[in-house]
Amino acid sequence: MRIHIVGYKGIVGSATYELFRRLGYGVTGSDKGEVVARADIYFVCVPEDAVEEVVQGLANPSDLIVIRSSVVPGTCRRLMNLCEDWHICHNPEFLREAVAIQDEFSPDRIVIGQCCPEHGGLLKVLYEPLRRPIVLTDPTTSELVKLASNVHLSCLISYWNTIEEIAKRVGISGHEVGMIASLDPRISPYGSRLHHKFSGRCLPKDTRQLISLSQSLGYDPVLLRAVEEVNNSL
């Protein structure tokens, strides 16, 4: 099985490259614009705004293309409509920047948005050595799962930042409030103890992306706009 990683020098691409290399597959890599080696599966790990260009530039669209980037729901389906020979799956990553390779080898779940059962099954076999939960679904669901996951974290951070502001105004520690409250198993500790604006490569970008998608569909995501407002006010 020959695997090629487009964008292999980035955080996601390098982690994907290292995973399949250590699992014993023949892996090659290229950056955007470089020569792409012949492969059976192409993993696209480039910034969202470069995904369509990379997909259209692949020389052998009859092979399997797997998008790992966070893209607008419906992207895989739209790209496959451009050419009936394209087989495109979505396989989102859930990596933390500081420990991306560690997360790649021990994910909480592996989500495969399959273009068809044949290619979904092929990707499932690739990941089975990790012995982690594998979920097969359609690409659009997979694309939204990725955005929903990151924006959920944005919501949690913004919620606890709001509690921190209230706590300061009544003269107590928001950190202590978060620590005690999150002892309840129903309350996630994420963002409850370190109060700061959400940042990094993913959370602000994906929050804005989901807001834009909602608005383009005629829905006003009031909650998500509030999350963004809280973050921008810090």
CATH number for the domain harbouring residue 220: 1.10.1040.10
Q: Is the torsion defined by CA of 127, 131, 135, 140 positive or negative?
A: negative
**Domains of the chain: total:** 2
Is there a contact between 204 and 171 (Cβ–Cβ < 8 Å)? no
Query: Last residue of a domain, which of 79, 106, 137?
Result: 137
Tell me, yes or no, whether 148 and 130 share the same domain.
no
pLDDT tens-digit map of 186-232:
999 898 877 777 887 789 999 999 999 999 999 999 999 999 999 88
Tell me, yes or no, whether 110 and 95 share the same domain.
yes
- Residue 59 pLDDT: 62
Tell me, yes or no, whether 129 and 153 share the same domain.
no
What whole-number distance in Å separates Cα of residue 234 and Cα of residue 219? 26
What whole-number distance in Å separates Cα of residue 174 and Cα of residue 3? 48
Tell me, yes or no, whether 92 and 119 share the same domain.
yes
pTM: 0.93
Tell me, yes or no, whether 37 and 64 share the same domain.
yes
Tell me, yes or no, whether 148 and 133 share the same domain.
no
| Stretch among 6-10, 57-61, 77-81, 166-170 having the lowest mean pLDDT | 57-61
Tell me, yes or no, whether 100 and 198 share the same domain.
no
Tell me, yes or no, whether 125 and 47 share the same domain.
yes
Tell me, yes or no, whether 43 and 103 share the same domain.
yes
What whole-number distance in Å separates Cα of residue 157 and Cα of residue 76? 30
pLDDT tens-digit map of 37-95:
889 999 999 999 999 999 988 867 678 999 999 999 999 999 999 887 889 999 999 99
What residues have CB less than 8 Å from 204, skipping those under 6 apart?
A: 154, 198, 228, 231
Query: Last residue of a domain, which of 137, 155, 185?
Result: 137
Range of the domain at 93: 2-137
Least Cα distance to 43 among 10, 72, 67 occurs for 67
Backbone angles phi, psi at 10, to 5 degrees: -80, 175
Query: Last residue of a domain, which of 88, 108, 137?
Result: 137
Cα distances (angstroms) measured from residue 23 to each of 1, 43, 86, 91, 220 = 11, 16, 26, 18, 45
CATH number for the domain harbouring residue 96: 3.40.50.720
Q: What is the DSSP letter of 98?
A: G
The packing angle between helices 139-169 and 203-216, to 10°, is 110
Tell me, yes or no, whether 110 and 20 share the same domain.
yes
